[in-house]
Amino acid sequence: MRERAIPEATVARLPLYLRALYDLTERGQQTVSSEGLADAAGVNSAKVRKDLSYLGSYGTRGVGYDVEYLIYQIKRELGLTQDWNCAIVGIGNLGRALANYKGFGERGFRVGALFDIDPEKIGERVGELAVEDFDDLERIVKERQVMIGIIATTAQAAQAACDRLVAAGVKSILNFAPTVLQVPDSVSLRKVDLSIELQILSFYEQRKVALDSIRGGKRLTASASRSTRP
Amino acid sequence: MRERAIPEATVARLPLYLRALYDLTERGQQTVSSEGLADAAGVNSAKVRKDLSYLGSYGTRGVGYDVEYLIYQIKRELGLTQDWNCAIVGIGNLGRALANYKGFGERGFRVGALFDIDPEKIGERVGELAVEDFDDLERIVKERQVMIGIIATTAQAAQAACDRLVAAGVKSILNFAPTVLQVPDSVSLRKVDLSIELQILSFYEQRKVALDSIRGGKRLTASASRSTRP
DNA sequence: ATTTGTGAATCGGTTCACAGCG
DNA sequence: CGCTGTGAACCGATTCACAAAT
């Protein structure tokens, strides 16, 4: 495989492989087949092979992939050989939880600033940081070279938070607020919407209940609903 | 359009449309075109029309869609005409934030039980609920007719939490733990992985920096990075 | 004997473009 | 005339299946 451009779908799976590979090293495995990595990452082996082929030819036929080496290559591809400074805007329940979340640091994402607009919260300590004034965002983002902004405000406040991050030069934004944000083309935006995930589950759950009641022939009551194959 | 089966991609967007429609009612709009809804939901109008056509022919040519009626139809399709009881397993930072998150209740998801294995936490109040013993999960899930389980444990504890939820008859699970979970086919599983989202952003950010430094001809310093088009 | 790497076939989803209807 | 609803064309991603490598 030569030439650039890794498909989006592949990029989205690389972190999954990376996590699976870390798990494998912890179990002392030095080499892994596409099949083995597929199982550990919860995908199928054809996908693993095709995905990894976009990075280069890092496997050995008849053997598999060297775990350490593959970790290195994926980290390099994802830009994880350096640490990234993040800032969280909106220190409510979720912002606080994100500020305290250990998983970020482990993966090389340093939360280096917390912002809120509420004078009650400014100055308050959360973990190792103090909440700072949203008005100082631009200055602090530049001083601390924040590269990634995490928006954990209400839906109403999210666009303003976003605009300020963009004005400060932040090019990557992760949005937890349940609203659509506008950013210039030069900025990457991803979103996580908690209640949308539940609504999607609701769709499939509802369909299951409907199907059960057709098959069972009678209305479903809570006590009648049993788990099939535990 | 007749016959069943709504594409997965469409199902995943319905909650987005729903939120956009709520926003429109708040602004007093009674009818909306596919173009208008597309803007509000952050997609394009061809997608909106095709997606909505899977639900039925609910629009009026030359006019658009009736906002209220469309809300009703989407809610019905998603199974949101009823409330769903949820349980959160793992009351750490994130579990606590989720327990306090108002967005769930607003969308008809009632958090009706919190579980943790840590004796220190059992009995503690979080919002309106007390944390209960993980050992009592099966009984409580059945008593309160919990339909959706939310896993906010560590990666290590997640599979056990998942197994217990499945054993208790829960058919829909939302996993926040950074690990791959095994569930029977009869159970729907979705996942939200916070640090994976950051890693994806990292990939695109890194590529941007690389591109800039080629174009700019010189190494990038923090103060030299300006936002293009604010 | 295995397991990769990859063309070719396939699938699902998106976009186009316009006929059909209000 | 405007906007929906939808076949048709298109595009990206997944899966298949096997030749190539060790």
- Assess whether B167 and B91 both reside in one domain: yes
- What's the pLDDT at B220? 39
Chain A CB contacts of B55 below 8 Å: none
- Assess whether B44 and B95 both reside in one domain: no
pLDDT at B106 over 50: yes
Using one digit for the tens of pLDDT, what is the confidence trace for A144-169? 999 999 999 999 999 999 999 999 99
In a domain, B42, yes or no: yes
Confidence of residue B215 (pLDDT cuts 50, 70, 90): low
Using one digit for the tens of pLDDT, what is the confidence trace for A29-79? 999 999 999 999 999 999 999 999 999 999 999 999 999 999 999 999 999
- Assess whether A167 and A207 both reside in one domain: no
pLDDT at B112 over 80: yes
Contact A179 B225 (CB under 8 A): no
- What's the pLDDT at B3? 55
pLDDT at A216 over 70: no
Contact B202 A79 (CB under 8 A): yes
Sequence-distant (≥ 6) Cβ neighbours of residue B85 within 8 angstroms = B110, B112, B113, B144, B145, B146, B147, B148
In a domain, A3, yes or no: no
CA of A6 to C1' of D18 (A): 24
- What's the pLDDT at B227? 30
- Assess whether A89 and A61 both reside in one domain: no
Give the chain A residue nearest B181 (alpha carbons). A42
CA of A48 to C1' of D5 (A): 39
What does the pLDDT average to over A205-219?
72
Distance separating alpha carbons of residues B152 and B92, to the nearest angstrom: 7
What does the pLDDT average to over B52-68?
97
CATH number, residue A175: 3.40.50.720
Confidence of residue B211 (pLDDT cuts 50, 70, 90): confident
- Assess whether A90 and A166 both reside in one domain: yes
Alpha carbon distance, N-terminus to C-terminus of chain A: 44
In a domain, A150, yes or no: yes
CATH number, residue B26: 1.10.10.10
Distance separating alpha carbons of residues A74 and A110, to the nearest angstrom: 20
Confidence of residue B222 (pLDDT cuts 50, 70, 90): very low
What does the pLDDT average to over B25-44?
98
| Apex B192 CA angle, B187 and B195, nearest 5 | 145
Q: For residue B195, how many C-alpha atoms fall within 13 Å in the half-sphere facing its CB?
A: 22
- Assess whether B57 and B88 both reside in one domain: no
What does the pLDDT average to over B210-216?
71
- What's the pLDDT at B229? 29
In a domain, A172, yes or no: yes
Contact A229 B186 (CB under 8 A): yes
The pTM of the full predicted model, rounded to 2 decimals, is 0.92
Q: Does residue B46 lie within 7 Å of nucleic acid chain C, judged by its CB?
A: yes
User: Which structure tokens are listed for A123?
Assistant: 């100055």
* Three-class SS state of A116: strand
- B19: domain range? 8-78
Spacing of C-alpha B212 from chain mean position: 35
Main-chain phi, psi angles of B94, to 5 degrees: -70, -45
In strand C, the nucleotides that come within 7 Å of a protein beta carbon are 1-7, 12-17, 20-22
Minimal Cα–Cα distance from B28 to chain A, Å? Answer: 17
Sequence-distant (≥ 6) Cβ neighbours of residue B207 within 8 angstroms = A79
* Three-class SS state of A131: strand
* pLDDT-above-90 percentage for chain B: 88
In a domain, A2, yes or no: no
Name the burial class of residue A182, with classes exposed (0-12), middle (13-18) and buried (19+) by CB atoms within 10 angstroms of its CB: exposed
Q: Does residue A7 lie within 7 Å of nucleic acid chain D, judged by its CB?
A: yes
Sequence-distant (≥ 6) Cβ neighbours of residue A36 within 8 angstroms = A24, A29, A64
Contact B103 A227 (CB under 8 A): no
- Assess whether A95 and A168 both reside in one domain: yes
* Three-class SS state of B1: coil
Distance separating alpha carbons of residues B230 and A167, to the nearest angstrom: 6
User: Which structure tokens are listed for B221?
Assistant: 């310093």
- Assess whether A56 and A106 both reside in one domain: no
- Assess whether A115 and A181 both reside in one domain: yes
* Three-class SS state of B114: strand
What does the pLDDT average to over A97-125?
96
Distance separating alpha carbons of residues B139 and B71, to the nearest angstrom: 36
Contact A202 B41 (CB under 8 A): no
What is the per-residue DSSP string for A109-133? EEEEEEEES-TTTTT-EETTEEEEE
CA of B41 to C1' of D7 (A): 26
A3, A83, A99, A192 from A113: Cα distances, Å: 38, 15, 9, 20
* pLDDT-above-70 percentage for chain A: 91
In a domain, B2, yes or no: no
Chain B CB contacts of A187 below 8 Å: 227
CA of B13 to C1' of C20 (A): 27
* Three-class SS state of B174: strand
In a domain, A169, yes or no: yes
Spacing of C-alpha A167 from chain mean position: 24
Q: Tokens 């944390």 correspond to what residue? A: B131
- What's the pLDDT at A142? 98
Neighbours of B163 (CB within 10 A): 14
CA of B73 to C1' of C6 (A): 46
How many domains does chain B contain in total?
3
Q: Does residue B50 lie within 7 Å of nucleic acid chain C, judged by its CB?
A: yes
Listed residues B16, B45, B78: the one ending a domain: B78
Name the burial class of residue A129, with classes exposed (0-12), middle (13-18) and buried (19+) by CB atoms within 10 angstroms of its CB: middle
Listed residues A78, A110, A130: the one ending a domain: A78
B190 bridge partner residues: B174
- Assess whether B38 and B117 both reside in one domain: no
- Assess whether B105 and B169 both reside in one domain: yes
- Assess whether B136 and B210 both reside in one domain: no
Chain A CB contacts of B169 below 8 Å: 225-227
In a domain, A100, yes or no: yes
Closest CB to B172 among A101, A103, A205 = A205
